Amino acid sequence: MAKQTDTSKERQVLPNVLMNSVLGKLYDILTSGDTVAPKSKDNYLAWLSVGVPYPKEELEFLSTGFTGIYREPEPLKEGGEPVERTEKTPEEIQQLLAGDVTRKYMQAENLSRLLDLIPDTSGVKGDVTMNVWNPENTLSQAYRHILKFSQVANFEPDEKTKKKIQRLRGLLQETKIKKNIVTEEDEEVLQETALVKKYNEKLQNYLNEALEYNAHRVNALAAKDPAAVHYWSINASILRSKVMAAKNDWITNGFKEEYDQIAAFIAQVEGRSMLTLKQQYVDDMEKARLTSPSSGSDFYYASLIPGGFAETDNGWTEFSFGSSDFKSNYAFDSEKGHVGARAGFFGFGASAKGSHEKRTINKTIDTSSFKLSFKICQTMINRPWLNPNFITSKYWRFDVNNSQFKNNMVSDGKTPPQGMIPAYTTTAIFIKDLELKFSKNNSEFMDEMSKTSGKGRVGWGPFRLSGSYENNHKERDMEVSREGQGIKVKGMQLIGFKCHMLPKSPDAQPDVKEWV
């Protein structure tokens, strides 16, 4: 007679054992791949010790930008009768628009500061492993120090390229001899050539026609002046023809294509210069710096791609875990970077409001009818100010004359790496509409969880199951419902990141002759 393996005792497991299995399956989904969907190139996953709730309105700026939007409130009903609306004055509407802009800047600041944190790499090993999110330094501060205190290799183009650049520059600029009216001495001055003057003349003509076209178009779209709407309706085709004629004149008589080709070649050659590239990266970082209207402090803008992921179900994948998945022995083994012993991360526990002390629930769970489900979405992190290619380039080093930074390492390249930026986050992992279902045998477990939660925060692994949270200085309660032996957590929460570990940096090329 075959030995029965699915005994009642074997079905009863502690929460940390079950969560280890849940995240084992989730790990495989996020990191495995084939020829159609290649394996993740990121090095490890970092789970949050408890999920961060993110209502979709807190990410509105990702899809709408920082433009203020005034939404006419829906009429409320009292006793079946609509409530009379109060008309807003233009000044009141402008005030509401300004408040909406401020709100979006606060959203951007909150997200950017979160995405600016450098993940902990301690304990990370192997190829794709996992860790518990433990932020350390800020990425923007470390990267800013790299740009400020670095030296780059000074490359010179070959003689043939130098002569070509000189000839092309001669088509754009020419040297003229003029007499200084004060000293009455001849002086060399650099001025535009006839080609550039004609180019600028035709360009300005095109811009004028385009400006007129856009002015009439915007006035018509605003629909505040009937005459503007009529003008656009009757004359739009004429205005459009004037713009196209000006553009064709710019191309034909303004040397547009020739000028663009010359400028592109010069930019390409100069782009090979690390000094030029470094200056571009410094400018990129400066352009991405914003000042929060609420806190008054600076932050470096970061976003998530796609920006509208929170608004729809597009890009979200259904995830479920049941008894059959548990029998499949999903788990984080030692090769994947087992962290089960770290502060009871996999455990089911709660912490009181304002307290960091976590109470762990050690009641067992019957896996025979257990089910966990949610929707999951991966979003790429976009930092327009960060260029990892510069960090990993072999043509920069820290200034050897700077005693504070000359021996610093961005990453020592070891496993796990250490340094100023041993790793950075590349992908944010969100879930929404989490649902748990337990067996009737788990009534004791459910009762214990209800007692533990109260007004505190309940978490299981990286998932938050109840409690209040703060967004934009406003405290909110998570939308949680309990039905029989089930728990439903409405809304979206951030549960972790994919992280990329940097190789040894700086790792300068030894044959560079000149550093600047």
What SS3 string covers 246-299? HHHHHHHHCCHHHHHHHHHHHHHHHHCCHHHHHHHHHHHHHHCEEECCCCCCEE
Q: Cα(21)–Cα(15) distance, rounded to whole angstroms?
A: 10
Q: State residue 502's pLDDT score.
A: 92
Angle between helix 256-271 and helix 159-172 axes, rounded to 10 deg: 140
Residue 424 has pLDDT above 90, yes or no: yes
Query: Which range among 224-233, 373-382, 482-491 shows the weakest confidence by mean pLDDT?
Result: 224-233
Tens-place pLDDT, residues 68-110: 776 666 655 555 566 566 777 777 777 777 777 788 888 889 8
Q: State residue 13's pLDDT score.
A: 80
Sign of CA pseudo-dihedral 18, 24, 26, 27: positive
Between 274 and 411, name the one with better pLDDT. 411
Regarding beta strands 129-132 and 44-53, do their DSSP bridges make them parallel or antiparallel, or are they unpaired?
Answer: parallel
What pTM does this model have?
Answer: 0.73
147 Cβ contact list (under 8 Å, min separation 6): 278, 281, 282, 285, 390
* Phi, psi angle pair for 159, to nearest 5°: -65, -40
Torsion angle of alpha carbons 444, 446, 450, 452, nearest 10°?
Answer: 70
Q: Cα(319)–Cα(463) distance, rounded to whole angstroms?
A: 14
Tens-place pLDDT, residues 283-315: 888 888 888 777 778 899 898 887 888 888 877
Check if the beta carbon of residue 261 is closer than 8 Å to that of residue 251: no
Q: Cα(403)–Cα(405) distance, rounded to whole angstroms?
A: 6
Q: Which of 478, 419, 385 is nearest to 115 (CA)?
A: 385
Tens-place pLDDT, residues 231-258: 878 888 898 888 889 889 989 999 889 9
Query: Which range among 168-182, 369-383, 431-445 shows the weakest confidence by mean pLDDT?
Result: 168-182
Tens-place pLDDT, residues 361-397: 667 788 888 888 998 888 888 898 998 888 998 889 9
Reduced to 3 states (helix: H, G, I; strand: E, B; else coil), residue 454 is coil
For tokens 């050690």, the residue is 362
Q: How long a stretch of residues is the chain?
A: 516
Q: Cα(303)–Cα(382) distance, rounded to whole angstroms?
A: 5
Residue 323, sorted as left (phi over 0), alpha (psi -120 to 50) or beta, turns out to be: alpha
Residue 491 has pLDDT above 70, yes or no: yes
Q: Cα(34)–Cα(27) distance, rounded to whole angstroms?
A: 15
Check if the beta carbon of residue 409 is closer than 8 Å to that of residue 505: yes
Reduced to 3 states (helix: H, G, I; strand: E, B; else coil), residue 235 is helix
Share of the chain above pLDDT 70, in %: 72
pLDDT averaged over every residue in the chain: 77
How many alpha carbons fall within 13 Å on the CB side of residue 183?
6
Residue 515 has pLDDT above 80, yes or no: yes
For tokens 């390492």, the residue is 409
pLDDT class of 145 with cuts at 50, 70, 90: very high
Reduced to 3 states (helix: H, G, I; strand: E, B; else coil), residue 180 is coil
Mean pLDDT of 270-286: 80
| Rg, C-alpha atoms of the chain | 31
Q: Which of 57, 133, 97, 51 is nearest to 472 (CA)?
A: 57
**CB neighbour class for 14 (10 Å; exposed up to 12, middle 13-18, buried from 19):** middle
DSSP state of 395: S
Q: Which of 10, 13, 22 is nearest to 460 (CA)?
A: 22
Q: Cα(112)–Cα(104) distance, rounded to whole angstroms?
A: 12
Query: Which range among 192-206, 416-430, 484-498 shows the weakest confidence by mean pLDDT?
Result: 192-206
